[in-house]
Amino acid sequence: AYDSAQNQYWGGSNVSAPILAYLGAEEAVDNSLSSIGFLSENANQLQALQIFIEHRYYGKSIPFGSREEAFQNASTLGYFNSAQAIADYAEILIDVKKQLRAEHSPVIVIGGSYGGMLASWFRLKYPHVALGALASSAPILTLMTLSHQKRDIIPLLQRIFDETCYQTIKKSWSVIDEIASQPEGLSVLSRKFQTCSQLLTSSVLENYLMLMYTGAAQYNRPPRYPVTVVCGGIDGAAHGNDTLGKIFAGVVAYRGNKSCYVNEPKNKSETDVGWRWQTCSDMVIPIGISNDSMFPANQFDLNDYIESCKDSMASLLGLIGPLLTLEAMFASNIIFSNGLRDPYSSGGVLENISDTVVAVHTQNGSHCLDIVGANTTDPDWLVNQRKVEVKIIKGWLDKYEDFALKSSKTFSGNNAQIQDRTWLNDTMRKEKNKEEGDCQNSSLQKLNMLEQYELSYIHLYVKMIYIRINTKMICQCVYDPWLFLWASQPQNS
């Protein structure tokens, strides 16, 4: 199901005008409508229809009738993974194009961060559905592989924070540990950081600070530049040699004046719960902290990671399946965009893989900065990055238009080919119906929790319905997420 409105941009199905499809990630798609500007800002010149699709198990796209039921156990959560999500997107896009009689309209899929990973995988797995993909800040190389290679994103922070600020933060951890080890030390820390409730462990404070620093670095974008705000508070604090006084000044500068900080009472969001499930069951992201970081050293250990997942998801984990890999040997028409000041850029594709799988990056960019809404304070390098990406996409569309024109001439003069194609479509439809019935009759296979995780990914084996990949039919469960067809007023010329 989808909501629609009269569209002011789309050139229409008769001219095979393009469709820009935003692939939702680990949050409600509503949040993206106001923040992601790449689609709306380029729809006019591309005469494109904009589609925002929500990821299953987030926002309004909850199967089984309710969130409580959907998150009840491993059986209901067995349908919650990235492969199922991109299968949803394929079904949705095919259906929307059919409903709009736009079967020949090329689709460009767009996503950021995890959504960027989905966009690149979508182009790889469903090249017949999407002509190309823009994968913004997609850290696909951070995923653990069979070789167990790990990427350390934390050292990048050293070139983002100024030296004085960096050294103050680095020194603060030992000061926190020293005070916490003393009698009444946690009470001292609670008062110094004006916590909302008494600290029971120093790790609560340390985790809060680390999340603040990494979040500021990840989204260090104009016009606010959060890292500048944090370091302005730390470096400008009138606290002499009081390291923690400086750190707290950075907290206030970043968070604003509040009645209390650190352990503020809050309910776990759907992103907290959903993303935890995904990173325990679908995508292992091995992020460690090296000895030369501004944070306390904490090397990634797979066994510790698994135990942590068992502790937090003990009642849910129960279905373990084989590691699925996806090779990019035959990929084309993918843009991997990154900003090198984004800590996660170390896990991104930073070099061209081929003439059509290209890397576009900037030295000063941050996480997903190229696809968020443009701002009058945007620097020239950011404006130029977006122009480069649009130029590449236009090149794909121009080639598609040329190919479609030549193909239409070929088929218009050969009725036999058209008849053969009709016969092939009928045959494929009958085969699909048969396979769909087989899938519906199959039972959900349950596997015991593996004691040894030799394959690094903790994956799910799930009951599926159907999807065609090349000439082989496989089963695939497809759930209909919430879809938003976005319509905006055209820009004034």
Q: What is the pLDDT of residues 16-72, one digit of tens each?
A: 789 999 999 999 988 888 899 999 999 989 999 999 999 999 988 888 888 889 888
Choose the catalytic residue: 202, 342, 366, 459.
342
Share of residues in the chain with pLDDT > 90 (%): 45
Average pLDDT, the chain: 77
Please check the confidence at residue 465 and state whether its pLDDT lies above 80: no
pLDDT at 239: 67
Instruction: Give the pLDDT band of residue 394 (cuts 50, 70, 90).
Output: very high
Please check the confidence at residue 446 and state whether its pLDDT lies above 50: no
Chain centroid offset of residue 395 CA: 25
Active site residue 104: no
pLDDT at 316: 52
Share of residues in the chain with pLDDT > 70 (%): 72
Please check the confidence at residue 485 and state whether its pLDDT lies above 70: no
Choose the catalytic residue: 82, 105, 346, 367.
367
Q: Which of 317-321, 342-346, 389-393, 445-449 is predicted with the least confidence, judged by mean pLDDT?
A: 445-449
How confident is the model over 444-465, as a mean pLDDT? 23
List of domains in the chain: 2-141+325-486 (3.40.50.1820), 154-255 (1.20.120.980)
pLDDT digits 0-9 by tens, 329-379: 568 999 999 999 898 898 899 999 889 999 999 999 999 999 999 999 999
Instruction: Give the pLDDT band of residue 419 (cuts 50, 70, 90).
Output: very low
Active site residue 354: no
Please check the confidence at residue 160 and state whether its pLDDT lies above 60: yes
Please check the confidence at residue 240 and state whether its pLDDT lies above 90: no
Overall pTM surpassing 0.85 (yes/no): no
Please check the confidence at residue 445 and state whether its pLDDT lies above 90: no
Please check the confidence at residue 233 and state whether its pLDDT lies above 90: yes
